Amino acid sequence: MSMFYESSAPAKNAQRWHSSSPARTPKDKKGTPELPSTPARTRFAPSPTGYLHLGSLRTALFNYLLAKRTGGQFLLRIEDTDQKRTVPDAEQRLLDDLRWAGLQWDEGPEVGGPCGPYKQSERSELYREHAEQLLESGHAYRCFCSTQRLNALAEERHKVGLATDYDRTCASIPKDEAEQRAASGEKNVVRLKVPDRYPTYTDLVYGKFKPLKRRSGDAAFEDPILLKSDGLPTYHLANVVDDHHMQITHVIRGLEWMPSTPKHIAMYAAFGWTPPAFAHVGLLVDEKGNKLSKRHSNFDISINGFKEMEIFPETLTNFAALLGWSHMEKSDVMDLETLVQKFTLKFTKGNTIVTDGKLQFLQRKHAAVRVAKGGEGLQEIVDAVLRLLDDPNGPYGNWYHGADTPARYIERILHADGENYTNAHEFIYRHAYLFAPLRKRGFKDVPQRIVEDCKKLAEVGQEDWEKEALKQKVQNLIDAMPEGRAGAKHVYHYLRVALTGKEQGMRIYDIMEILGREETLKRLSLEI
């Protein structure tokens, strides 16, 4: 979708509202908005009042995917005007977490770009200039009402069941008088003078949005504050001004921002600017429909929490992408590069349920991919496992006595069972029999003849100790049994419990090959 931007402000004293509806977005045969035909410029604009969570990561990801899918640019803007609530290390954590997830921005902090600065605290003069433009054009006015009066007004309206809007007491103050009072130091804010009916716009997810006309006779107006009494902008003004000057073409954000969109569309109209296209995606909720919170969900944790869980970045981006986005692929398993290639604007309406099962499923699938590819991804897994095994305070001291290096030993286990890997702790627990002597085993009704027959595995020499040879030897033992293949289940059951102490686990021939000839025969020779 082509977007055009006017660099000049509306003419002074202009009193009309400009047409502000964005161009209609073409849709495919299934009703999904088509991707723009020109490169999209998108942005992620977090506030450093907290750390990056799953929902905000998803917002960043969707904007990143649209930009990259269309050959456009993904911008990062820090909305840090709320200095009182700013967390000291939040900004750096945001940058680190985005990079960890692979979402490198094209313009923004530490990168620069033609539309900087990319921190709102460094753009205050720009916001004041634009507030003045709205005052000059009559689309904004200065409000001198005290906090006490506004609270009393809101309380009075709330009691009778009305929206706690403003009554425009200050809108009738002559402009010259208002400017003189402001110049003399009288405390005031700048409010947007909204129209009786907000302009219509089309949401890429929910379609045409036609706000209701203000009720006739209601003497209150929404009129949001644009510039606070301290001269700093509110979210509404800074957001619109920045998106225009940074030439943002598409904004993908959470459904909670949808009530603010008409105000923003109205402001674009007041400036005479074309707004970006908006897409509002549903909230993330738990299985009971509650918004994710520490009280109700394991998913209301910072990205650092997922790192501590040892979730891979490709797992988390894959997981986040599937929360409210639909695709036509046969598999849900996609790395970031694949997500870029397959991305469309097919978002689901309504909220999205977040479940742990899907996250763990994707983690196992991406672990298998890492193992198959080898290289850095596999090495990270091996290092995580070795750190736990080599912990001097852990239970696995002097855990390895094989011929391979410890790292190679772990790799062999992963190649045999990487498809079930979720994290180092679980991996070691599940395969504890490979890292420590077997202490307890339990057999049920195993004939002594089977025990003795299995010891014949010693006939397989060291040079032949590999899966195919072991498989053939066990098959020969089964074929020689009086009951033939009917006794196979007893053989496999005995071998598994004798070698692992467990009823279930990875393939028995992989276990024997990894344990090696000496350790396997040692365990088979133990008294039952």
Nearest alpha carbon to residue 55 among 306, 357, 242:
306
- Phi, psi dihedral angles at 393 (to 5 degrees): -95, 0
Would you state the pLDDT for residue 216?
63
Would you state the pLDDT for residue 4?
25
CATH topology of domain 443-528: Arc Repressor Mutant, subunit A (1.10.10)
Output the CA angle 365-438-440, nearest 5 degrees. Answer: 105
The answer to whether domain 41-284 and domain 443-528 are alike in fold is no
- pLDDT per residue as tens digits for the range 128-149: 999 999 999 999 999 999 999 9
Give the whole-angstrom CA distance, residue 344 versus residue 33. 8
Nearest alpha carbon to residue 118 among 231, 248, 6:
248
Handedness of CA 44, 48, 51, 55 (dihedral sign): negative
β-pairing, 41-44 with 73-76? parallel
Would you state the pLDDT for residue 197?
87
Would you state the pLDDT for residue 526?
67
Give the whole-angstrom CA distance, residue 482 versus residue 323. 57
Give the whole-angstrom CA distance, residue 131 versus residue 127. 6
Strand, helix or coil at 227? strand
Whether 453 and 477 have beta carbons less than 8 Å apart is answered as yes
Whether 417 and 510 have beta carbons less than 8 Å apart is answered as yes
Instruction: Give the CA-trace dihedral at 70, 73, 79, 80, to 10 degrees.
Output: 150
Would you state the pLDDT for residue 490?
87
- pLDDT per residue as tens digits for the range 62-87: 999 999 999 999 999 999 988 889 99
How many C-beta atoms lie closer than 10 Å to residue 399's C-beta? 18
DSSP string, 400-413: --SSS-HHHHHHHH
Q: Which helix (H) or strand (E) holds 75?
A: strand 73-76
* Residuewise pLDDT in 10s, the chain (528 residues): 223 222 223 333 333 333 334 445 566 666 678 999 999 999 999 999 999 999 999 999 999 999 999 999 999 999 998 888 999 999 999 999 999 999 999 999 999 999 999 999 999 999 999 999 999 999 999 999 999 999 999 999 899 888 889 999 999 999 999 999 999 999 999 999 999 888 889 999 999 988 777 666 666 789 999 999 999 999 999 999 999 999 999 999 999 999 899 999 999 999 999 999 999 999 999 888 888 765 555 677 899 999 999 999 999 999 999 999 999 999 999 999 999 999 999 999 999 999 999 999 999 999 999 999 999 999 999 999 999 999 988 888 788 877 789 999 999 999 999 999 999 999 999 999 999 887 766 666 778 888 889 999 999 999 999 999 999 999 999 998 887 777 898 899 899 999 998 888 999 999 999 999 999 999 998 654
Q: Could you report how far apart the first and last alpha carbons of the chain are, in Å?
A: 74
Whether 215 and 184 have beta carbons less than 8 Å apart is answered as no
Give the whole-angstrom CA distance, residue 278 versus residue 251. 5
Query: Angle, to 10 degrees, between the axis of helix 406-417 and the axis of helix 376-389?
Result: 110
Nearest alpha carbon to residue 221 among 273, 277, 284, 153:
153
Tokens of 174: 């002559």
* Cβ neighbours for 432, distance < 8 A, ≥ 6 positions apart: none
Q: Which helix (H) or strand (E) holds 192?
A: strand 189-192
Whether 58 and 320 have beta carbons less than 8 Å apart is answered as yes
Would you state the pLDDT for residue 448?
84
List the domain boundaries for the chain: 41-284, 443-528
Beta strands in 322-416, from DSSP E residues, in sequence order: 352-353
Candidate CATH numbers 3.50.50.60, 3.40.50.620, 3.90.1150.10, 1.20.120.80; the one for domain 41-284: 3.40.50.620
| CA distances for 130 relative to 242, 300, 512, angstroms | 11, 37, 74
DSSP string, 256-308: GGGGGHHHHHHHHHHHTPPPPEEEEEPPEE-TTSPBP-TTT-TT-SBHHHHHH
β-pairing, 207-209 with 189-192? unpaired
- Cβ neighbourhood burial of 113 (10 Å; 0-12, 13-18, 19+): middle
How many C-beta atoms lie closer than 10 Å to residue 30's C-beta? 7
**Catalytic positions, please?**
294
Nearest alpha carbon to residue 257 among 210, 311, 203:
203
Would you state the pLDDT for residue 444?
66
Conformation bin of residue 429: beta by default, left when phi > 0, alpha when psi is -120 to 50: alpha
Nearest alpha carbon to residue 141 among 82, 94, 194:
194
